[in-house]
Structure 1
């Protein structure tokens, strides 16, 4: 884990550069159209993943009756930003929502504020006219600026393999990685020209986010009888499947079905972000459902050590495979940049030391922005109104109170569950997913570093 004053302090050099959608803001402030559009780094974003990234596919992909049974299709999901459920697994926006509204920014400007205690400035960029990323299953959607293939319950391994190892039903697999790749293939005619060169040119200027994937593979194993050691035996296969997915995509449009798969990179994808998995041993769902009677299984933060060690093993293996992939394509005619997004380190810091991070509003002359402030050693001289996250491990939305506020039979969105008054004071939303406030911070750590290697906007 990064030390205080190290990785977190380095965010100042990455995110505190006021990319706050300046390519949209500056021309407007100057009173003219300007050339902001020419400075945008990406023209679209395409996402694959699970519930950490699903912006609505799970509800679009099910019947109305089935949707009513989904807990995250019920209040209080969506309460913070949207005011109603959107089938996002949070109280508001997800990490991909914040990424999607910032990737259009290429020019970077130093903020007028230069205090080492500030670790993030984040703007609700939708107010500047930038769209949220639409779910790919939405009928009639405009996907030229991007599409989201992620869906709740997605696994890296396909259903047939999981079934072969005894994990058929009752696991809830709505769209494994290979299925999402097929969805992307079906969207291509509406995204770019069907000729190879047309798509290649368009995709080379787009950002691809491949994951997080793998978490539900472990869930299927751990919640249905596998030990951590047994699940660990499948980590190399899970990681190799993710790497294969980064490279391969159903390619009938490109080569008229001559072969089954084509390399995604060969299609023109040149900017690919691949997130790891979270420190699941620190989330209420796992702490409740997989509790241990052995005190040595818990670390000093109250997290389940074996589960976090599994996450670390997965992430270490994934980083090694990605490094090999980057080496392979470094000398390609069209350079490819593969970025590892570190969920684990940043989320672990938020969960372990939630009070370290606080919020404050400032005015930069034309637009109000929300800061997330490093409160270690004080509030940095910003006066009153700065308060840190009050809770890390405890779920904001749940039932039962206590250390975790989580009951499986009264999960968020179900009868008996309720949300806390201020979700932004919590890191954990529903026992397994993070709040909008935490998601904003994670996105900032990926955009400017140091929690993405290399940072997306560098």
Structure 2
């Protein structure tokens, strides 16, 4: 797939013991377990069939690669498209559950791991030892927790009040994994949504002050993402102090994506704010809600590696590759996975 699961594949290839990258690395793992949403989903959503209303389950999302396998001893990917940090009940109580079309929250996904646990290890001691030698990639979570209310028309001021709740839900999930025996956990923040072609199109403004003059991104949506990431880092710092024997790493999507936007050419990109797969070249950001990637009328650029954005809300393989390398070796993880 062009965007989903690619980053996990790159991280896993470098981390799993016995791999070419691992032999030269300072750190290696026996298994990699991933949790998250569409940024990591490599097929969980379509296990029971392709949802008719979901464009991201159609071509051209499968143009690059697909992987298959049933051996989970070296890890598993529990991520599912649309997943949230908060529970479905939260969104239902706020009247925005129509924007939440699966219940694969962080807690649900950790529950899936617990169900799988007997097939991975036998005794509690064996399980703790096994998990202590594994890498846990917990997220990205949070993006859909904000997408759902924003796309439902909830006031921006109210959505901002969700931030502490979302960050705490992620931290609670991380703590559950630590209690299961996880010691090395990478926890990504969210991307600068104000730079997404989708957001730039939906919330297009005639006010210059709504945009950052340097980047062309929408200020307040990036401030929301920054606020979330700052809150999440504070939660992770508290957990690190509570569990000093763990290695809790913050994965910085925001910094990476902003560098792509500020200096696309430096990273080999020709454009950062236009989607590769989208509205056939129309509009400032090549995004049209009536011609989304995977729908009739949409087309795919001839050189995806020159784009940062794949479909207006997810990045391309080329962009994820740089993020993955930054998580493994720096500077996009604190501390980097391999150090």
TM-score when normalising by structure 2: 0.90
2:274 corresponds in structure 1 to 394
Q: TM-score, normalised by structure 1?
A: 0.67
Cross-structure match for 2:156: 228
Matches within 5 A, 1:362-381: none
1:131-160 per-position Cα deviation (integer Å, ceiling 9, x unaligned): x686xxxxxx21110001110000100001
Shift of 1:437: 0.5
Contact 2:88 2:100 in 1 (8 A): no
Q: Distance in 2 between matches of 1:267 and 1:432?
A: 33
Match of 2:218 in 1: 304
Describe how 1:120-269 pairs up with structure 2 within 5 A: 141-193=70-122, 195-248=123-176, 264-269=177-182
What is residue 10 of structure 2 aligned with on the other side? none
RMSD: 2.3
Contact conserved, 1:133 with 1:148, CA < 8 A, in 2? no
Shift of 1:266: 2.7
Distance change >3 Å, CA 392–CA 37, structure 1 → 2: closer
**1:58–1:174 contact (8 Å) kept in structure 2:** no
- Shift in alpha-carbon separation, 1:23–1:44, aligned structure 2, 3 A: closer
Deviation at 1:20, TM superposition (A): 10
For residues 370-421 of structure 1, the C-alpha deviation after alignment (integer angstroms, 9 at most, x for no partner) is: xxxxxxxxxxxxxxxxxx3111110000005232000111110110000000
Q: Does 1:355 align with 2:265?
A: yes
Q: Which residue of 310, 313, 328 corresponds with 1:447?
A: 328
Matches within 5 A, 1:65-76: 66-76=50-60
Residue deviations 1:149-188, cap 9 Å, x none?
Answer: 1100001000011111221224323411111111111111
**Change in 2 beyond 3 A, CA 1:21/1:242:** closer
Contact kept in structure 2, 1:55 and 1:133, CA below 8 Å:
no
- What pairs with 1:270-309 in structure 2 (closer than 5 Å)? 270-300=183-213, 301-309=215-223
CA deviation map 1:84-142 (0-9, x unaligned): xx5xxxxxxxxxxxxxxxxxxxxxxxxxxxxxxxxxxxxxxxxxxxxx686xxxxxx21
Give the SS at the match of 1:218.
Answer: helix
State the match for 1:77 in structure 2: 61
1:156 aligns to what SS in structure 2?
coil
Q: 2:40 aligns with which of 45, 49, 53?
A: 53
Which one has a larger percent helix, Structure 1 or Structure 2?
2
Tell me, yes or no, if the aligned pair for 2:193 and 2:225 is still in contact at 8 Å: yes
Q: Structure 1: how far apart are the matches of 2:16 and 2:134?
A: 17
* Contact 1:50–1:212, Cα closer than 8 Å, also in 2: yes
The answer for unaligned runs of 5 or more in structure 1 is 1-18, 27-34, 87-131, 135-140, 249-263, 358-387
Query: Across the two proteins, how many residue pairs are aligned to each other?
Result: 324
Contact 1:23–1:39 (CA under 8 A) maintained in structure 2: no
SS of match in other structure, 2:237? helix
Which string of whole-angstrom CA distances, capped at 9 and with x for unpartnered residues, describes residues 34-66 of structure 1? Answer: x96998620001111001111110111x3x3x4
CA distance, structure 2, for counterparts of residue 200 and residue 247 of structure 1: 14
- Report the structure number with the largest CA radius of gyration: 1
Inter-CA distance 446–200: structure 2 relative to 1 (3 Å threshold) = same
Partner of 1:10: none
In the alignment, which residue of structure 1 is the partner of 2:298?
417
CA separation of 1:67/1:166 partners in 2, compared to 1, >3 Å: closer, same or farther? closer
